C-alpha cells in the first residue's frame, strides 16, 4: 500500500516519527523516508495519484476538496500524529477520506501536567515559592492555614472530553471530591469517572482548584468570565491547559488583581505569548508557562506510535479507536 509523509516542515516529521517508527512503517507500507510538501504535490501531481495513506503531524498542509480529488484520487486515510485536526480535516472528510488523530496520545502529557498542577496548587506551591524567594517567612507561616492540601478537597473539571476524562481518571488515586461541568457528559459516564455533574457557576463557587478542558470552538469562546473567577473560594486556583480564547482575559486579570488570594496557572493564553504590556506578566498571583502541557521531547513519538498502531488496525479490517468524524469536529478541540 503506497503511503507518504506530508508536511510543511521536514523537521516536524523527523521529530515525531523517529527512526524506530519509520522502520516500522517501512515494513508495513510502501513508504519512502521522504517528506513531501504541498508544493511537491502541486508540481508533480501524477506522482501521488496512487497514494492511499498520508502520515503527518503538526504542519499538515491544507487542501481544498477539489485539490484532494485532483491530486489524491486513491487516498483512503490521513493519519495525523498530533492533536486537533480542526484546521485541515473537513475537506478530507467531505471527500470520503478517513482522518485519524493521535489526540489521545497528546492528551496523556496534558492530563499528567494538569494533575501535577492540581496537587501543587492545593499545597500552596505557587504562592509559597514567591514568598520564600522574597524571604517573607512570617507570611509563609500565616499562609499554612490557608492551603488545605489534597484530602477531601473539591476539584472542578470544565469539559470531560478526552483530556478532562483522563484527568478525572488520574485523580481517582487521590482522596479528592471531583466536580465536572460538561453539557455532553452523561450520567453513566459521570459515574464511571467518579465525578459529580454540576453547573459551571456551582463548579467555580465550590472548587478549590478549577481546570479548563473545554473544546475549542465558537460556542466556548470567552465562556469563562469575571463572574466565575470572582466567585471562587478563598485561596483557589484556576488552571488553563485548554485554550486562551475560552477565557475573557481582562476579566481574569481583574479578578486576580482584586483577589490577591487567588492564583492562576496558565499554560495557554489567547495570544501566545501575551502582548508585552499584558497584566499577566506583572500580577504576582499569575503563573505563565509556554504551552508545555502537550507532548514535548520524546513524548511526541508516542503520537506517531498511536498512529502506526491505528494503521495496523485499519489495514487488518479491525475496529479503530481514533477515527475523527464531521460530527466530532463540532465538539472536540
Interatomic CA distance for residues 233 and 121, integer angstroms? 13
Same domain, 239 and 304: no
User: What is the mean pLDDT of the segment spanning 104-130?
Assistant: 95
Query: Which domain CATH number covers 184?
Result: 3.40.50.720
Residue pLDDT, tens place only, 40-61: 999 998 999 999 999 999 999 9
Number of domains in the chain: 2
Domain holding 318, by residue range, is 2-101+297-329
Residue pLDDT, tens place only, 153-205: 999 999 998 899 999 999 999 999 999 999 999 999 999 999 999 999 999 99
Residue tagged 465536572 (cell numbers): 180
Same domain, 237 and 320: no
Same domain, 316 and 265: no
Same domain, 182 and 79: no
Q: Which helix (H) or strand (E) holds 40?
A: helix 38-43
* Bridge-based pairing state of the strands 237-240 and 209-212: parallel
288 with 262: CB under 8 angstroms?
no
Return the C-alpha cell found at 83.
Answer: 492533536
Q: Model-level pTM? A: 0.83
Amino acid at each position: 500500500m503506497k503511503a507518504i509523509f506530508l508536511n510543511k516542515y521536514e523537521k516536524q516529521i523527523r521529530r515525531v516519527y523517529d527512526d524506530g517508527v519509520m522502520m516500522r512503517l517501512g515494513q508495513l507500507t510502501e513508504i519512502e523516508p521522504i517528506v513531501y510538501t504541498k508544493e511537491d504535490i502541486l508540481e508533480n501531481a501524477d506522482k501521488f495519484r496512487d497514494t492511499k495513506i498520508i502520515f503527518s503531524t503538526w504542519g499538515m498542509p491544507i487542501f481544498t476538496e477539489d485539490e484532494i480529488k485532483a491530486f489524491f484520487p486513491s487516498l483512503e486515510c490521513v493519519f495525523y500524529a498530533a492533536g486537533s485536526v480542526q484546521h485541515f480535516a473537513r475537506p478530507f472528510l467531505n471527500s470520503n477520506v478517513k482522518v485519524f488523530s493521535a489526540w489521545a496520545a497528546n492528551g496523556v502529557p496534558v492530563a499528567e501536567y494538569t494533575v501535577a498542577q492540581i496537587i501543587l496548587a492545593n499545597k500552596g506551591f505557587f504562592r509559597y515559592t514567591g514568598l520564600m524567594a522574597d524571604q517573607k517567612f512570617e507570611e509563609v507561616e500565616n499562609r499554612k492555614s490557608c492551603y488545605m492540601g489534597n484530602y477531601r478537597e473539591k476539584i472542578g473539571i470544565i469539559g470531560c472530553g478526552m483530556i478532562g476524562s483522563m484527568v478525572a481518571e488520574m485523580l481517582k488515586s487521590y482522596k479528592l471530591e471531583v466536580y465536572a461541568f460538561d453539557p455532553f457528559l452523561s450520567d453513566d459516564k459521570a459515574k464511571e469517572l467518579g465525578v459529580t455533574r454540576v453547573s459551571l457557576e456551582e463548579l467555580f463557587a465550590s472548587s478549590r482548584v478549577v481546570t479548563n478542558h473545554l473544546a475549542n470552538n465558537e460556542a466556548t469562546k470567552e465562556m469563562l468570565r469575571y463572574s466565575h473567577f470572582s466567585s471562587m473560594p478563598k485561596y483557589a486556583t484556576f488552571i488553563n491547559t485548554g485554550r486562551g480564547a475560552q477565557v475573557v482575559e481582562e476579566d481574569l486579570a481583574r479578578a486576580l488583581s482584586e483577589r490577591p488570594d487567588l492564583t492562576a496557572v496558565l499554560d495557554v493564553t489567547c495570544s501566545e505569548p501575551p502582548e508585552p504590556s499584558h497584566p499577566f506578566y506583572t500580577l504576582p498571583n499569575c503563573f505563565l508557562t509556554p504551552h508545555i502541557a502537550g507532548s514535548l521531547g520524546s513524548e511526541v513519538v508516542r503520537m506517531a506510535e498511536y498512529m502506526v498502531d491505528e494503521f495496523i488496525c485499519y489495514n487488518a479490517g479491525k475496529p479503530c479507536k481514533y477515527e475523527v468524524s464531521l460530527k466530532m469536529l463540532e465538539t472536540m478541540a
